[in-house]
Chains A and B, each alone.
Chain A
Amino acid sequence: MEKYLIQTKNIHKFFGEVHALRGVDLAVGHNEVVGLIGDNGAGKSTFVKILSGIYPWDEGDIIIEGEKIDKRKFSVQKAREYGIEIVYQERALTEKLCLWRNIFMGRELTDRLGFLRIPEMKEESNKVMKERLGFTSSAVTADARVGVFSGGEKEGVAIARALLFEAKLIILDEPTMGLSTLEVEEVLNFVKEIKETKRSCLFISHNIYHVYPVADRFVLLDRGKIVDEFEKRSVTLKEIEDRMARIAEMARGDKGRVEG
Chain B
Amino acid sequence: MAVTKNESVLTRAIRTVFAKFGRHRMQLTVLGTFLVILAAFYIKDPAAFSTFALYSALLSLTPIMLILSMSETLIVINGDFDMSFPSIMGLSAMIFMFIFFSTGNSVIALLGALCVSTAIGVLNGVLVAKLGLPSLIATIGGLFLWRGVVTGITQGQNVIPGLRQTPLYSILVGELFGFIPVQTFWAIGIMILFWFVLNRHKFGAHIYCIGDNRESAKMMGINVTRTKILIFTLMGLFSGFAGVMNLLEMGIFFPSLGQNFFLPAIAAVFVGGTSPFGGEGTVFGSFIGGLILGLLEVGIPGIGFAGLWREMFFGLILIISLVIQASIRRRVR
Contacts and interface: CB of A to CB of B under 8 A. Distances in A.
A161 B215 CA distance: 17
Contacts of A101: 205, 208-209
Given A96-B280, A97-B209, A105-B209, A77 B201 contact: no
B213 A116 contact: no
Contacts of A147: 333
A143 interface: yes
Contacts of B279: 94, 96-97
Interface string A104-120: 01111010001110100
Contacts of A88: 219
B221 A80 contact: yes
Interface on chain B toward A: helix, strand, loop, or mixed SS? helix
Contacts of B208: 94, 97, 101
A108 B19 CA distance: 25
Interface in A188-213: none
Contacts of B215: 90, 92
A164 interface: no
Given A110-B202, A114-B202, A93 B213 contact: yes
Contact of A94 (B196, B203, B212, B333): B212
Contacts of B218: 54, 76
B212 A97 contact: yes
B331 interface: no
Interface string B215-235: 111111110000000000000
Contact of B202 (A76, A95, A116): A116
Interface residues of B, number: 25
A52 interface: yes
A90 B220 CA distance: 12
Of A101, A108, A148, most B-chain CB atoms within 10 Å = A108
Interface in A150-206: 161
Given A92-B215, A94-B217, 11 more contacts: A75-B221, A86-B219, A90-B216, A92-B219, A96-B280, A97-B208, A105-B209, A105-B217, A110-B202, A115-B200, A118-B200
Interface of B: 19, 23, 196, 200-203, 205-206, 208-209, 212-213, 215-222, 279-280, 332-333
26 contacts: A53-B221, A54-B218, A76-B220, A77-B221, A92-B216, A92-B220, A93-B216, A94-B208, A94-B213, A94-B216, A94-B217, A97-B209, A97-B212, A101-B208, A105-B205, A105-B209, A105-B217, A105-B220, A106-B222, A107-B220, A108-B202, A108-B205, A114-B203, A115-B200, A116-B200, A118-B200
